[in-house]
Structure 1
Amino acid sequence: MVPVSVFIMDVTDSSSADYGEELSNNLSQLERYIGDWYGKSGSVQVKHRSGDELIMLSEGYSSAFITAFYISSLWKYEKNPPYFGLSYGSLDKKVAEIDIEKWIHPFVKQARNANDHLKKQKDRESFHFQLNDVEPSLHTLINSMLMLQHVLRIEQTDVQRLVCSLYLIYGKQNAVAELLGRSAPTVYSHFKKGHCEQILRSFRNIVSFLDACQAKEFPEMGNNHTKTLEERIRTNIKSQVQDIFSF
Structure 2
Amino acid sequence: MKKPVSVFMMDVTDSSRNWKEVSSYLETVEAYIKHWTKGLPNVHIKHRLGDEIVCIFDHYATAYTIAFYINQIWRFSDQPPYFGMSFGNVEEDISDIDIDKWNHPLMKHARLANERIKQSSNRTPIIFFPDSDAMSIPSVEMSNLLLEYQGKLINEQTKLQRLISGLFSVLDEQKMIANLLGKSPSTISSHYKKGNCEIILKTFNTLQRTLNHQEETQSGTYPSNIMNELENTIKNHLKQNLKIITN
User: Which residue does 1:166 correspond to in 2?
Assistant: 167
Aligned pairs, how many?
244
Q: Show CA shifts across 1:100-120 (max 9, x none).
A: 122111000000000000010
Q: Aligned partner of 2:29: which letter?
A: L
Residue 178 of structure 1 deviates from its aligned partner by 2.1
CA contact (8 A) 2:73 2:244 kept: no
User: Which residue does 1:232 correspond to in 2?
Assistant: 233
- C-alpha separation between the residues in 1 aligned to 2:221 and 2:142? 27
RMSD: 1.3
2:10 counterpart SS class: strand
Identity of aligned residues (%): 37
CA contact (8 A) 1:12 1:81 kept: yes
**Are positions 1:182 and 2:195 aligned together?**
no
User: Which residue does 1:204 correspond to in 2?
Assistant: 205
Which aligned pairs between 1:1-247 and structure 2 lie closer than 5 A? 1-15=2-16, 17=17, 19-39=18-38, 41-133=40-132, 134-246=135-247
2:79 counterpart SS class: coil
Q: Aligned partner of 2:145: which letter?
A: S
How has the CA–CA distance of structure 1 residues 243 and 130 changed in structure 2, closer, same or farther, with 3 Å as cutoff? closer
The answer to which of 188-197 and 232-241 deviates more is 232-241
CA contact (8 A) 2:106 2:131 kept: no
Q: Show CA shifts across 1:22-69 (max 9, x none).
A: 110111111111111111543211110011000010011100000001
Residue 152 of structure 1 deviates from its aligned partner by 1.0
CA contact (8 A) 1:76 1:245 kept: no
1:3 counterpart SS class: strand
How has the CA–CA distance of structure 1 residues 87 and 220 changed in structure 2, closer, same or farther, with 3 Å as cutoff? closer
- C-alpha separation between the residues in 2 aligned to 1:107 and 1:62? 14
Residue 81 of structure 1 deviates from its aligned partner by 0.7
- C-alpha separation between the residues in 2 aligned to 1:194 and 1:136? 31
How has the CA–CA distance of structure 1 residues 97 and 221 changed in structure 2, closer, same or farther, with 3 Å as cutoff? farther
Residue 243 of structure 1 deviates from its aligned partner by 4.2
Give the TM-score of the pair, scaled to structure 1.
Answer: 0.94
- C-alpha separation between the residues in 2 aligned to 1:144 and 1:245? 30
CA contact (8 A) 2:212 2:222 kept: no
Residue 78 of structure 1 deviates from its aligned partner by 1.5
How has the CA–CA distance of structure 1 residues 243 and 119 changed in structure 2, closer, same or farther, with 3 Å as cutoff? closer
CA contact (8 A) 2:163 2:245 kept: no
- C-alpha separation between the residues in 1 aligned to 2:176 and 2:86? 34
Q: Aligned partner of 1:114: which letter?
A: A
Residue 129 of structure 1 deviates from its aligned partner by 0.7
CA contact (8 A) 1:2 1:91 kept: yes
Give the TM-score of the pair, scaled to structure 2.
Answer: 0.94
1:79 counterpart SS class: coil
- C-alpha separation between the residues in 2 aligned to 1:88 and 1:239? 31
- C-alpha separation between the residues in 2 aligned to 1:221 and 1:200? 22
1:124 counterpart SS class: coil
- C-alpha separation between the residues in 1 aligned to 2:59 and 2:131? 17
Q: Aligned partner of 1:142: which letter?
A: S
Identify unmatched segments of 5+ residues in structure 1: none
1:47 counterpart SS class: strand
Q: Show CA shifts across 1:121-159 (max 9, x none).
A: 122110001124131111110111111111111111110
Identify unmatched segments of 5+ residues in structure 2: none
CA contact (8 A) 2:82 2:117 kept: yes
How has the CA–CA distance of structure 1 residues 41 and 204 changed in structure 2, closer, same or farther, with 3 Å as cutoff? closer
Q: Aligned partner of 1:146: which letter?
A: L
